Amino acid sequence: MTTFEIANRLKELCSKGEYETAQLQLFADNVVSIEPMESEFFEKETTGLQNIIEKGHKFEKIVQEMHATAISEPLVTGNIIAFTLTIDVTMKGQPRQTIGELCVYHVKDGKIIKEEFFM
């Protein structure tokens, strides 16, 4: 797949909340995920597809209710994909909140090799 095709497929799957499907289809086995900061739930950096999938499961466990998700059209340049992600969410034990992120993906040999989130 080209970077542009990966970007469109990533947006399509994430728009439907199919994050794990996106990871399984589009991520390299040795992919690296970088969060804006380390927290009690997530490390700053996670390496490996299975570890990133598990990180997604941890996130699902702390969500009480996902009210809405909005994803911008992807921007693609060379081997880089970027889009904004906004979620309207109630986390367990917290008030409802809106969280916005800039999501950046690096592609090599037809697979995403790195994802990085900025808040």
The residue among 58 and 42 whose pLDDT is bigger is 58
Yes or no: domain 3-118 corresponds to CATH 1.10.510.10: no
Q: Work out the number of other CB atoms within 10 angstroms of the CB of residue 7.
A: 23
pTM check: above 0.75: yes
- Residues 6+ positions from 49 with CB-CB distance below 8 Å: 23, 24, 27, 28, 29, 30, 31
Average pLDDT on 31-41 reads 87
Domain boundaries, the chain: 3-118
Per DSSP bridges, beta strands 80-91 and 63-71 are: antiparallel
Per-residue pLDDT tens over the stretch 46-78? 999 999 999 999 999 999 999 999 999 999 999
Look at the block and give the residue holding tokens 């994430």. Answer: 14
Side-chain-side CA neighbours of residue 53 (13 Å):
15
Per-residue pLDDT tens over the stretch 95-112? 999 999 999 999 999 999
